[in-house]
Amino acid sequence: STRVCRIRIQGLTCISCSMTLEYYLVAMHGVQKALVALSNEQVEVHYDPRILTHNQILEAIEDIGFEGILIS
Ligand code: 9UX
């Protein structure tokens, strides 16, 4: 199954960091897709809710130095 969450990431403004973040998230077990929208400093994550919670995704974002706020 798939669930989608959107997370706002304060200060995520460059291509390099957005690609790092996408690759990092997609490497997580349970994440199917991660799409950064730089124009609004957001990432949309498609994940399997049987494997991951959105809190684990938020923690992973913090692990690489960003602060994420769950939007939806
Ligand atoms: Mo990046 Mo940050 O590589 O202010 S989004 S530096």
**Which residues form ligand 1's pocket by a CB distance below 6 Å?**
11-14, 16-17
Q: Model-level pTM?
A: 0.95
pLDDT digits (tens, 9 = 90+) for 62-72: 999 999 999 99
- Predicted-complex ipTM score: 0.86
Mutate to test the pocket of ligand 1, among 14, 36, 38, 64 (most ligand atoms within 8 A of CB): 14
Contact between 33 and 26 (Cβ < 8 Å): yes
CA-CA distances (angstroms) from residue 4 to 14, 24, 65? 23, 17, 22
Q: What is the CATH number of domain 3-70?
A: 3.30.70.100
Which ligand 1 atom is the nearest neighbour of the CA of 16? 3
- Euclidean distance between CA atoms 32 and 48, whole angstroms: 7
Tokens matching residue 32: 């199917």
pLDDT digits (tens, 9 = 90+) for 12-63: 999 999 999 999 999 999 999 999 999 999 999 999 999 999 999 999 999 9
Distance between alpha carbon 9 and the CA centroid of its chain, in Å?
9
Mutate to test the pocket of ligand 1, among 8, 9, 10, 13 (most ligand atoms within 8 A of CB): 13
